[in-house]
Amino acid sequence: MSGLIIGLVAALILVILFMLFRIQALITIAKGGDRPVGTSNKVNGALMLIVPIVLLALVAWYSPIAARNFLPEASSVHGVVTDNLFWVTITVISLMFLITNAGLFWFAYKYQYKEGRQASFFHDNTRLEVFWTIVPAVIMALLVFFGWKAWSDITSEPPKEAMVVEIMGKQFAWQVRYPGVDKQLGSYDFRLIDDVAGNEFGIDFEDKKAEDDFLAREMYLPKGQPVLFKIRARDVLHSVFAPHFRLKMDAVPGMPTQFHFVPTKTTEEMRSQLNNPQFDYEIACTEVCGRGHFAMKFKIVVVEPEEYRKWYAEQPTFLEQNPQFKGKGLSDLRKKNLAKRNAEQMKEQASL
């Protein structure tokens, strides 16, 4: 890599030297009329072949190296489908790219200026044009069809048995809530959020469903079972990106979103497949959200279902850890606000 960089710098220096000569020449240039098409045209013509070929060689050399650093095969059911579609599409567009660029540069080279040659007055050919309108249209149609199928599956209604996890984005962290044994998340309201007291989700504990909810520092998921992410944000836009699951969905304040998928490989399996004992699944944020946007990491641990059940059963509920919130919710807040307003009014009246 550093060799390449040195090469680049050397090339630039050469060019600068050449420029200095040019400037010399420029100063002595007389005013003149038309100049004949000269050797420069031949040089440029030759470069029309040389440069693209060299660049292509670089791509051919580097692509396999780069591919080592690509994300490994997807760890979700739909991810395998989209990965396949991706590589098929890449193949198709690479062909298009090669054929058209080859035509472009080859013609540029081949038909460079030659003394006495007459260019052809060829400017219309309905058949050709119909042909190259239809070919891309057909290719597009096919790609659209497969893309549409994959998309429809991914965005279909989540299966009933999907286990629900709530992910909430805030500046600058993800927070995760699990429904307890009732498998249902308790309701929430942003006005109940209180970082100081400790209710960062704004959970409404008047809702009985909230009583067994628990928060998690790491997200455990069972392998092979459908999971439904319920996604929201409480300050600005964020976006849940779990690259290995080929999963991305914006987190929008005021508009909950969701994404469902089936993880297919446990963290352990990935570790041995990648030969990397440190491997972990991660969630990143992909919607710019401020200073800490680049560091909103959350860890996902995919385990076998039995292990998952064990972990699940061990988690203490939020209320067990924060008993002061028991029964506190919206109507409680309303009461408090009312009391505050009354007090204010009293004060006002007293001061009158």
Of other proteins, Cu ion, none, which one sits near residue 352, judging by CB under 5 to 8 A according to partner kind?
none
Three-state secondary structure call for residue 54? helix
Residue 168: which H helix or E strand, with range?
strand 163-170
Q: Report the relative pairing of strands 238-242 and 281-285 from DSSP bridges.
A: antiparallel
Asked whether position 288 contacts other proteins by CB under 8 A, the answer is yes
Asked whether position 147 contacts other proteins by CB under 8 A, the answer is yes
Asked whether position 243 contacts other proteins by CB under 8 A, the answer is yes
Distance CA 142, CA 150 (A): 13
Would you say 184 or 258 has its CB closer to other proteins?
A: 258
Asked whether position 289 contacts Cu ion by CB under 5 A, the answer is yes
Q: What angle do CA 65, 69, 74 make, to 5 degrees?
A: 125
Strand partners, 222: 303
Would you say 135 or 346 has its CB closer to other proteins?
A: 135
List binders of other proteins among 76-135 (CB under 8 A): 79, 81-82, 85-86, 89-90, 92-94, 96-97, 100-101, 103-105, 107-108, 111-114, 117-125, 128-129, 132-133
List binders of other proteins among 49-68 (CB under 8 A): 51-52, 55, 59, 62-63, 66
Q: Which of 20, 64, 70, 350 binds other proteins (CB under 8 A)?
A: 70
What the block records as the tokens of 37 is 């098409």
- What one-character DSSP code corresponds to residue 191? G
Region of residue 70 (phi > 0: left; psi between -120 and 50: alpha; otherwise: beta) = beta
Three-state secondary structure call for residue 162? coil
For the beta carbon of residue 303, count every other beta carbon within 10 angstroms. 18
Distance CA 136, CA 100 (A): 12
Asked whether position 285 contacts Cu ion by CB under 5 A, the answer is yes
Of other proteins, Cu ion, none, which one sits near residue 315, judging by CB under 5 to 8 A according to partner kind?
none
Would you say 235 or 304 has its CB closer to other proteins?
A: 235
Of Cu ion, other proteins, none, which one sits near residue 247, judging by CB under 5 to 8 A according to partner kind?
other proteins
Distance CA 313, CA 64 (A): 45
Q: Which of 22, 208, 334, 347 binds other proteins (CB under 8 A)?
A: 22
Would you say 195 or 348 has its CB closer to other proteins?
A: 195
Q: What angle do CA 14, 18, 19 make, to 5 degrees?
A: 115
Asked whether position 262 contacts Cu ion by CB under 5 A, the answer is no
Asked whether position 238 contacts Cu ion by CB under 5 A, the answer is yes
Asked whether position 39 contacts other proteins by CB under 8 A, the answer is no
Contact 283, 227 (CB under 8 A): no
List binders of other proteins among 306-345 (CB under 8 A): none
Q: Enumerate binding residues for Cu ion (CB under 5 A).
A: 238, 285, 289, 296
